[in-house]
Amino acid sequence: MALDVAELLEGIAAGKRAAVSRAITLVESTRPAHRESARELLVGLESLGNRASGGAVRVGISGVPGVGKSTFIEALGSRLTADGHRVGVLAVDPSSVRTGGSVLGDKTRMPQLAVDPNAFIRPSPSAGTLGGVARATVQAMAVLEAAGYDVVLVETVGVGQSEVTVAGMVDTFLFLTIARTGDQLQGIKKGILEIADVIAVNKADPDDPAREQEARAAARELAGALRLVRGREEWAPPVVTASGLTGHGVDGVWEQVIAHRDHLGADGLRDKRARQQLDFTWALVRDELEQRLRHSASVRAIREALRQQVLAGEVPATVAADRILAAYDADE
Ligand code: GDP
């Protein structure tokens, strides 16, 4: 990869796809020389106009596999580009960390957007850890914003920490689910109800009245559950129905996203982003420390023996922890 940052910046400012693509590859790289160039790039991006004007509408979209995320993003993204927006689609997929492959943000799952000149789709980076993926995604978002993308959709799955991580980098967090009522509602993690700003019950196809009814009933129940979890908050997350496949209700979901944004207001949005920056700073530090701990030669040297001793009950956890930390400090 040629690392002419000035040239990349010029290309990004001109909105050139090739430059955007190369810049994102750069920010995804974990090689030290690339990290240095990526930093230079980000500083350069800050001075480009688009970021200063407030950046893009940043929306996280989450839901379990099969709920219809990619179909929904395809429908929503196409509508937005038809309305004159430029739409970036990024993905945070913790499973890609393990498999090295990516399911989310796969272009073949969004065939229409993939060939749309006003859309840019990027699959999840496989940067080793969720923290690494988050770092790359936040930087990719900055690249897209500087290139004039005014809407960025960040797709993620309902697995582990990834939803919380994505909620921490977007303005509005949209949770997609499908009709579940009664006991099945328990299957939805309470945590997601705490962070969702808008909820859509998907697959409410208008040509399938039974299914649509079921979706409406599920939406009502969810709204009730939300009132219990979020009762005292100013923003009561709306629960709507949609059908990504037919496009029905997709506009309605977007209206709620914009309503949430309006509710935040300019000051609220600025505060939210500032707080996110601070939280993200510490998340990056923690992630980096964990990496260093993992790679510390002195820790490695004692790790296996200590593991055996703790398992055998010969060394208490507190003592083992102290030894690991002492080994780590000795490495410095
Ligand atoms: P993802 O794994 O969440 O990205 O889900 P996909 O978008 O790949 O959709 C999973 C399956 O559900 C596919 O077979 C889609 O065709 C189907 N699907 C997606 N949206 C809808 C919808 O609104 N209605 C119906 N009936 N099926 C849908």
CA of 206 to the centre of ligand 1 (A): 15
Task: State both tokens at 51.
Answer: 């970021």
Distance between CA atoms of 146 and 231, rounded to whole angstroms?
38
Task: State both tokens at 275.
Answer: 């707080």
Using CB distances shorter than 6 Å, the residues near ligand 1 are 63, 65-71, 109, 202-203, 205, 243-245
For the entire predicted model, the pTM comes to 0.90
For the CA of 71, the closest atom of ligand 1 is 7
- CB atoms inside a 10 Å sphere around CB 46: 11
pLDDT averaged per 10 residues, the chain (length 332): 81 93 91 87 79 78 90 97 96 64 62 94 79 88 94 86 90 91 63 90 93 91 87 88 96 98 95 93 87 91 95 96 94 73
Residues 209 and 99 in one domain: yes
Residues 254 and 300 in one domain: no
Distance between CA atoms of 137 and 190, rounded to whole angstroms?
26
For the CA of 202, the closest atom of ligand 1 is 23
Distance between CA atoms of 163 and 326, rounded to whole angstroms?
34
- Which residue type occupies 146? A
Residues 187 and 324 in one domain: no
Residues 246 and 310 in one domain: no
CA 125 to mean position of chain CA atoms = 11
**Torsion sign, CA atoms 96, 97, 98, 99:** positive
Instruction: Classify residue 47: in a domain, yes or no.
Output: no
CA of 157 to the centre of ligand 1 (A): 14
DSSP H/E element including 36: helix 32-46
In 3-state terms the chain splits into helix, strand, coil percentages (rounded to 5) of: 60, 10, 30
Residues 181 and 301 in one domain: no
pLDDT for 86 equals 96
CA of 42 to the centre of ligand 1 (A): 36
The string of DSSP codes covering 194-236 is HH-SEEEEE---TT-HHHHHHHHHHHHHHHHHHHHHHTT-SS-
Residues 168 and 308 in one domain: no
Q: Find the domain containing 323 and state its range.
A: 296-331
pLDDT for 105 equals 55
Instruction: Classify residue 124: in a domain, yes or no.
Output: yes
Residues 236 and 174 in one domain: yes
Q: Hey, whose CA ends up nearest to atom 7 of ligand 1?
A: 68
Residues 193 and 58 in one domain: yes
The string of DSSP codes covering 119-182 is EEE-PPP--SSHHHHHHHHHHHHHHHHHTT--EEEEEEESSTTHHHHHHTT-SEEEEEEE---G
211 contacts 203 by C-beta, under 8 angstroms: yes
Last residue of a domain, one of 215, 249, 265: 265
pLDDT for 96 equals 56
Establish how many alpha carbons lie within 13 A of residue 294's alpha carbon, considering only the half-sphere containing its beta carbon: 8
pLDDT for 101 equals 44
Q: For 100, which DSSP code? A: S
CA of 217 to the centre of ligand 1 (A): 20
Distance between CA atoms of 327 and 300, rounded to whole angstroms?
9
Instruction: Classify residue 10: in a domain, yes or no.
Output: no
Instruction: Classify residue 290: in a domain, yes or no.
Output: no
Distance between CA atoms of 132 and 139, rounded to whole angstroms?
11
